[in-house]
A and B are shown apart, each in its own frame.
Chain A
C-alpha cells in the first residue's frame, strides 16, 4: 500500500530513531511512504494554546498539500502532530465560515472528505494485520516485559481522534504480544506525562513521570513502549534516579523482532540506554 507521509519536526531531530524505525518497519511491511512536499510544522500545543486560527491554518497548509497527491491516506507517526492534524480537519469539515477564512489565509482550497489521517499503530494493526506481523518475526522478544503507554494525544478527544478504546486502549498491547513480548496490564496507559511543560515547568513533569515509572515497576514491567516523541522525551529523560526504565518506540521493537539491522543504531540515541536490558535477554 502507498500512503502520504507527514513526519513532523521532531522525527528529524530529537525523535530521529522514531523516524528511522517508522521508515524501516514500513519498508519491511510493504507500506510505501510518500512524504508531503515541503510540509511545515503543525503548530503543536503552542499554537492551539494561544491562537485558535493559527492552530487550524498551519495544519491546513499541510492537509491541502497532501490533498494534491494521489494518496487518500496520510500516515502521521507523532501523536502530537496526529492530534493537531485531526483537530484541524475536524474544524475545517464542520465549520463552513472558518473553512472559507482559512482557505483565504492559506491561499488554496481545502477539499472536504478527501483525506484520512492515520497513525501507524492503526495502519499496521488494521490494514497489515497481526498475522502478517507475526510472519515477519525472526526474533520473538521473549523476556521483554513492556507496559504500553498511549498518553493523551492519540486518543483524546475521542470524537476527533476516533482511535482505539479511549479509556483502555489495547492495540499496542496486542501488537507487542504478537511479537513475543510479555505485555503487563497497567492502569496508567492513558495518563498525561505533562507534555510540553517539560521545558517551562520541569519539576511538574518530573513528578508526573515518576508516578508513571513507579506504577510501571509495580506492574512488573522492565520497559515502556510509546508512540509519541513528547512522551518519549519525558519518560526517557525526566524520571528521577533509580526509577528510570528503558523506553522504546513501538516501531523500534517491531524492527528488532523483524531482525532489521538498522535497529542497532538506535539504542545509543536513548537517554536511558536499553542495550544492557536487551543484551541480558539475548535480544541483541
Chain B
C-alpha cells in the first residue's frame, strides 16, 4: 500500500486526492505561518508519498486541531482528521518527533486520566514538568491558582477506575 492509500484508509472519509489545491484551508489556518510545511503542502507531500518528511515534520505537531480547514474546504477534505492520522502513524512507527514537548504534554495528560479517570491539573502539570524537564515556567501562575483555591491536589476521581484503565489497555495500538 502506498503512503497515500494508508492515510486515506485511516481517514476513512473523502480521499485526499479530492483536494484541488485552492489553499483555502491554508489561508484560514492559524498555525500555517509557524508550520514548517503549511496544510496544503502536507497534502501534496502525502500525495507524492513523502512519508518520512511528513511524519518527521513539525507541522503535524503544530496543528492546533481548530478544525477551520475542514470547515472551509470546498471538497470536504478532512485535513484536521488527516493531521490526527499522521500523528498516530508517526507515534506508531517510531518516527523522529520534531516537537517533543507537544507529545510529552499529551502523554502526561493521558497518564493523568489513566491514574484517576479524570484530569487532576496539578498532577498533570507535575508529570509534564518531569517529562519535559521544563521545571520553572508557570510555577508562579500555578502557586497563584493554588492560593485562589482553584487547584487542589486531591480532586474527585472516577470510582470504577478499572473500567477506564481497561479502555486504555484495549485501545493500545
Contact = CB atoms under 8 A, between A and B. Distances in A.
A201 B63 CA distance: 12
Interface in B95-128: 99, 101-107, 109-110, 113, 117-121, 125, 128
Interface stretch (B17-25, B36-44, B46-54, B158-166): B158-166
B159 A200 contact: no
B87 A152 contact: no
A194 B141 CA distance: 18
Interface in B133-173: 137-138, 141, 144-145, 148-152, 155-156, 158-160, 163-164, 166-168, 170-171, 173
B171 A38 contact: no
B66 A156 contact: yes
A57 interface: yes
Nearest to A208: B30
A201 B68 CA distance: 20
Nearest to B169: A105
B111 to A, nearest CB: 10
B113 A48 contact: no
Contacts of B102: 197, 200-201
B88 A9 contact: no
Given A10-B119, A58-B167, A157 B80 contact: yes
Contact of B105 (A38, A105, A196, A204): A196
A58 to B, nearest CB: 6
A156 B79 CA distance: 13
A41 B88 contact: no
Interface in A17-63: 38-41, 43-54, 57-58, 61
A243 interface: no
Contacts of B103: 50
A192 B64 contact: yes
Interface of A: 9-10, 12-14, 16, 38-41, 43-54, 57-58, 61, 95, 104-107, 152-153, 155-158, 166, 191-192, 194-197, 199-202, 204, 208, 237, 268-269, 271
17 contacts: A13-B152, A38-B158, A38-B160, A40-B113, A40-B158, A41-B118, A41-B164, A46-B106, A50-B88, A53-B173, A105-B166, A158-B71, A192-B66, A199-B128, A199-B138, A269-B150, A271-B141
Interface of B: 10, 12, 30-31, 34, 62, 64-68, 70-71, 78, 80, 84-85, 87-88, 91, 99, 101-107, 109-110, 113, 117-121, 125, 128, 132, 137-138, 141, 144-145, 148-152, 155-156, 158-160, 163-164, 166-168, 170-171, 173
A-B pairs, 7 with minimum CB distance: A156-B67, A192-B66, A46-B109, A9-B119, A200-B105, A46-B106, A200-B101
